[in-house]
Amino acid sequence: MKYFTIHELTKSATAKAKRIDNTPNEEARANLVLLVERVLDPLRSVWGRPIVVNSGYRSEKLNNAVGGVSTSHHCRGMAADITTGTRENNQKLFELAIRLDLPFCQLIDEKGYQWVHISYNKDDIRKQILHL
């Protein structure tokens, strides 16, 4: 894990405000490490500039608090919502993830590139690309 930490992948303003424990279990922690090593670090390395994690791991209670779906990869430590700070650069980051042929499960342009959702599941490298 060169560019990202477990801390930044688990921090949450909502969890802090609502006093929700967002500590991942061992399986979710292991999944976060794989997400970083296989997808996020390679993407950041080529991008060459900071990438901010808006949302990474979410405990079940936190996921409910933010209105996430129960099957969310975030709950298993397999997803991150990331941003470069601008929609224009988020679109470039999205396109870079495709060009790099990263082993993602899902790559989602959220709300006109307000942020990018990317997930990794070692058992499901379907490379699904969505625009929501």
Exposed e or buried b per residue across 30-68, where buried means at least 16 C-beta atoms within 10 angstroms of its C-beta: ebbebbbebbbbbbbeebeeebebebbbbbeebbebeeb
pTM of the model: 0.95
Tens of pLDDT along the chain (132 residues) come to 999 999 999 999 999 999 999 999 999 999 999 999 999 999 999 999 999 999 999 999 999 999 999 999 999 999 999 999 999 999 999 999 999 999 999 999 999 999 999 999 999 999 999 999
